[in-house]
Amino acid sequence: MKELDLLCLGELLIDFVATTSGSLRAAPGFVKAPGGAPANVAVAASRLGLKAGFIGTVGKDEFGRFLVDTLRVNRVDVTGLRLSSRGATPLAFVSVTENAERDFQFYWDGTADHFMSIRDIPVRRVRASRIFHYGSISLIHLATRKATRHALNAAFKSTRTFVSCDPNLRLNLWPSRAAARKTVLETIQRVDLVKVNDDELRFLTGSSNLTRGLQTLSRWTKAAIIVTRGPQGAVFRWHKAEGEVPGFSVPAIDGTGAGDGFVAGFLRCLASVSGDLRRLQPSAAVLSDWVRYANAVGALATMKRGAIPAFPTPDEVEALLVRGGRS
């Protein structure tokens, strides 16, 4: 079995991104772009040089086949990706405002990814991967929640698999805000790394103060925590190492996938370390370098429309790191 640096589980879908900035109602047209947060992370990480794989379900339709082809072209292992005849491939229509913020309209009810089951989880592959990464959308419905937890249990039982979570909350898909908060907080208790943005930190902890929010989340999980803040950069806490790293000023046109690019950039740095990642205790200086690299990947992902089409190459990241352009 091929050993993977990173294995991601979750949603894979088509983003239809508005061709002009503004509201969905005013959009004159849309550009088809492959997306889905965990799949975005897998592709972005592969583009940065990691051996990445993906677990998920798409429809046995033209959109689903397009997505499978997209992952293959980007050298993502698709052994765990299933084409299902029980539902269509999910779609999302995305508009981008003048300040590069996004508005989503999902077509998701009854789609193929609702039918992922425990039988679809390649347990041996999960246990053999150095890093396992997931989000929260696969936790919304009962069947996919069971499958995700089955994969997580396999990762937790492994002696070597580091577990990473980016909730990537889409509250309009959950039955209630309370259900979203309860489920996410339960599932991150045993993970090794949690990446949230500042809005998600506020939602999960009830605190609008960054320091208090970090303290509160640290009571829920022993994981390392990273809070991304858009152009302002990111804050991290890993055991006793803490710090803040400024972002990069770039001409952003679409924030879709920026957080996923950040995650991929950080996991790329993490995977470069030999040995047991679960026992790792990097210094604040090392973490600052990793977060700065991740900030650069996330910033570059905002410079094109769509997520997967926008993820940078290592050379593009290094060029931005050398050029600087901190905000």
User: Are 39 and 56 spatial neighbours (Cβ–Cβ below 8 Å)?
Assistant: yes
Does residue 192 have a pLDDT over 80?
A: yes
User: Are 204 and 246 spatial neighbours (Cβ–Cβ below 8 Å)?
Assistant: no
Place 25 in a pLDDT band, splitting at 50, 70 and 90.
confident
Average pLDDT estimate for 3-11: 96
Mean pLDDT, rounded, of the chain: 93
Percent of the chain with pLDDT strictly greater than 70: 97
Cα distances (Å, whole numbers) of residue 169 to 140, 211, 320? 10, 21, 29
DSSP type of residue 248: B
Average pLDDT estimate for 101-116: 87
268 sits in which H/E element: helix 258-271
Q: How many angstroms separate the CA atoms of 140 and 133, rounded?
A: 17
Does residue 326 have a pLDDT over 50?
A: no
Tokens 């005013």, residue located: 26
Percent of the chain with pLDDT strictly greater than 90: 81
> According to the model, what pLDDT value does residue 290 have?
98
Domains present along the chain, CATH in parentheses: 6-10+37-89+108-323 (3.40.1190.20)
> According to the model, what pLDDT value does residue 325 have?
57
Q: pLDDT for 237-259, tens place per residue?
A: 998 999 999 999 999 887 888 99
> According to the model, what pLDDT value does residue 104 have?
81
End-to-end CA distance of the chain: 44
**Length of the chain measured in residues:** 327
Place 99 in a pLDDT band, splitting at 50, 70 and 90.
low
14 Cβ contact list (under 8 Å, min separation 6): 32, 33, 34, 35, 63, 66, 67, 89, 90, 91, 92
> According to the model, what pLDDT value does residue 31 have?
87
269 sits in which H/E element: helix 258-271
Does residue 101 have a pLDDT over 70?
A: no
Starting at the edge strand found earlier in the chain, the sheet holding 102-107 runs 30-35, 13-18, 91-96, 102-107
Place 327 in a pLDDT band, splitting at 50, 70 and 90.
very low
Listed range (2-6, 39-43, 182-186, 216-220) with the worst mean pLDDT: 2-6
78 Cβ contact list (under 8 Å, min separation 6): 53, 54, 68, 71, 72
Q: pLDDT for 196-206, tens place per residue?
A: 999 999 999 99
Closest CA to 152 of 171, 138, 142: 138
Q: pLDDT for 127-151, tens place per residue?
A: 999 999 999 999 999 999 999 999 9
Phi-psi label, residue 121: left if phi above 0, alpha if psi -120 to 50, beta otherwise: beta
